[in-house]
A and B are shown apart, each in its own frame.
Chain A
Amino acid sequence: MLLYPFLQPVLANNQPPDLARSAEMPLMISVLVGLCLLVLILETQSRTANTRLIALLGVLVAINSALRFLEVGIPGPGGFSPIFVLIILTGYVFGASFGFLMGALTMLVSALITGGVGPWLPGQMLAAGWIGLSAPLMRRVVVQFNWTDKPQEIYLLTAFSILWGFAYGAIMNLWTWPFIVGPAGQSWMPGIGLGEVLRRYLAYYLITSFVWDLMGAAGNAILFLIFGRPILRALRRFHRRFSFRYINVDVLESPKGFVG
């Protein structure tokens, strides 16, 4: 839905942008993204719904929101935020659904406590959710190359966090970019062709967001290199502790004896 400026050339339409309509469009996108988010949370929560994971998710969201709360008090440079490390690592260790909920709910809770609730919140929740959702993809690479518990694992996750440092800003820009009237070389117009849309968006991104997101990406990298390994170890240890299963009492009392 957010990618529609890039899809528009396929559905070519040479109408000029309608200013009166453009005022309503960011709000409309927020409503539509909010509806998509409702469906996604409904689906993902069912996959995470057991008491251990719910309690764990609640406490981790509280810790991450506390970090964001501290960040509001002591703001970092540019787009620096300490919350993405935990979102990536929980998605990486506990799985995609858990990571998605961790990202989305961290944004919601921290918005509630910092007064950051607004039409931009569904977009933030979705983008942060995607970060956690995509983190398990790195696990495949780590397993493939047998990098578990090796420095390469942290380097890979650091590179992943740098990528998301830029991608998060680029996704959030799409909420307003099509409706901003700016210089011709940076503004979206219907029917200008896919190559031109990409070129203009890149120009807009480089001018307005690159430095901001660079700080965010650099912050993610520093935090990963310093905190990544100990946090990963702690999460793995607790993942094993949280992965036990209850055995039905009938099975325990069966003639075959104790089942562990």
Chain B
Amino acid sequence: MTPQIHTWAWITWLVSATILISRTRNPLYLTLIFFVIYILAVRLNRVMDNQRPILIIRLAVSFILFSAILNALFAHYGSTILFHIPDAFPIIGGVITLEGFIFGAINGLVLACIFGAFSVVSMALPTRSIIRLLPRAYYPAAVVLSIAMTFLPSTLRQFNQIREAQAVRGHRMRGIKDWLPLVMPLLIGGLERAFNLSESMTARGFSSRLEVRPTAYRQVIALISLAALLGGWLLRLQGEFRTAGAILIFAGGALIGWLIWRSGRASPATTYRRERWFATDSLIVLCASLTWVAHFFPIFVSITNPLSFSPYPSLALPEFNPWIGLSILGLLGPLVAMHQEVTPSLDRNIPANPETPAL
């Protein structure tokens, strides 16, 4: 079963985790974040009665090892020399340092944390909740996504059926050419189904509202917003214009938001089932936001660069501030909601209008 956590609470959790991961290179904090993510993944797996193994640890080990070895081989920098590869070997020839290994391992850990955070949310949220997040302006794209997600299982089923049918006829898979009798029926069958589907959609009145061409006015606004983003980005890269760049990026983002809102007004939406917001959702949002908002409080600001760490040029032990460690534990917020059993009274999806039958 899916734990009773609102989609937006999960999104807030993900954004907070991603901000935190991107702000720090301190391996102690990153390790703590990783274990928080792992605990959530294990708990989710149990609550959802999922039989699939959790791959986060295995992937993290491979990310860390791969990144550490690659960085040590290519970055011949640092004071703690482990061994020397003869200069006759191009690129990898030179000193291999402990600092190079550590720097690469930290990069791998960052990647593992990001991957883990997204995996947890992917596990927790059903695809329909993610599609439901799309703004109304993306109605055609959302329809395409819904069709694709609906047809995907049947496409895989059809592939297996074609494979079995061809095997009965004596077809054997020896090389890549033998895929042709499998791929073509799959494609043509899919195209036929698309044709039938479009007929059904047209018969149900889908075509009338969709064919709205973008106006020149809308295209100009889109161009201005993209120019603002690009200009702001380039300005931000210049040391002395970073604030102006940030303002321009914000203005571009706001313009895109307005454009999406404005375009969405042409597509009326009907919500048949609305998610309920529980007190635990508020708690999750509060705890998750505190993990990074807390770093603006004086107790954290007084510490010099508490989140940054670099093993170069000489390796030193990273600092660990217990307050920061405590704030990271705020990411464990979803655990609060994961002990609840799903009962009819707590059903998250309630009809928007009780008199409207659920479709």
Binding site for B on A (CB under 8 A): 1, 4, 7-8, 11, 13, 15, 19-20, 23-24, 26-27, 32, 35-36, 38-39, 41-43, 45-52, 54-63, 65-66, 69-70, 101, 105, 108-109, 112-113, 115, 117-119, 180-183, 186, 190, 207-208, 222-223, 226-227, 230-231, 234-235, 238, 241-242
Given the known inter-chain contacts A62-B155, A183-B75, please indicate yes or no for A19 contacting B145, CB distance below 8 A. no
The answer to whether A42 touches B147 (Cβ under 8 A) is: no
Task: Say which residue of A4, A60, A101 sits within 8 Å of B234 (CB atoms).
Answer: A4
Which one, B149, B159, B193, B308, contacts A20 given CB within 8 A?
B308
Decide yes or no whether B62 CB sits under 8 A from chain A.
Answer: no
Q: 7 interchain pairs (CB within 8 A)? A: A19-B308, A38-B260, A42-B214, A46-B214, A56-B195, A58-B146, A59-B194
Interface string of B182-222 (1 = CB under 8 A from A): 01101110110111011001100011001111100001001
* B195-A242 in contact (CB<8A): yes
Classify the secondary structure of A's interface with B: helix
Residue of B nearest to A186 (CB): B74
How far apart sit A62 and B22, CA to CA, in the bound complex (Å)? 33
Interface centre among B145, B252, B312, by most chain A C-beta atoms within 10 angstroms, is B145
- Smallest CB–CB gap between B354 and chain A, Å? 32
Do the beta carbons of A207 and B308 come within 8 Å of each other? no
Complex CA gap A13/B138 in Å reads: 40
Contact (Cβ within 8 A) A11 B238: yes
B75 touches A59 (CB 8 A): no
- How many residues belonging to B are interface residues under a CB distance threshold of 8 Å? 88
Partner of B211, one of A26, A49, A59, A61: A49
Q: Is the CB of B144 within 8 A of A54?
A: yes
Q: Interface on B for A, CB 8 Å cutoff?
A: 18-19, 22-25, 70-71, 74-76, 91, 103, 107, 110, 114-115, 118-119, 121-123, 127, 130, 137-138, 140-141, 143-152, 155-156, 159, 176-177, 179-180, 183-184, 186-188, 190-191, 193-195, 197-198, 201-202, 206-207, 210-214, 219, 222, 225-226, 229-230, 233-234, 237-239, 249, 252-253, 256, 259-260, 263, 305, 308, 310, 312
Q: Choose from A62, A105, A235, A238 the contact partner of B152 (Cβ within 8 Å).
A: A62
**Contact A112 B263, beta carbon cutoff 8 Å:** no
Question: B148 — which chain A residues lie within 8 A by C-beta?
Answer: 58-59, 61-62, 65, 105, 109
- Write out the residue numbers on chain B whose beta carbons fall within 8 Å of the beta carbon of A4: 233-234, 237
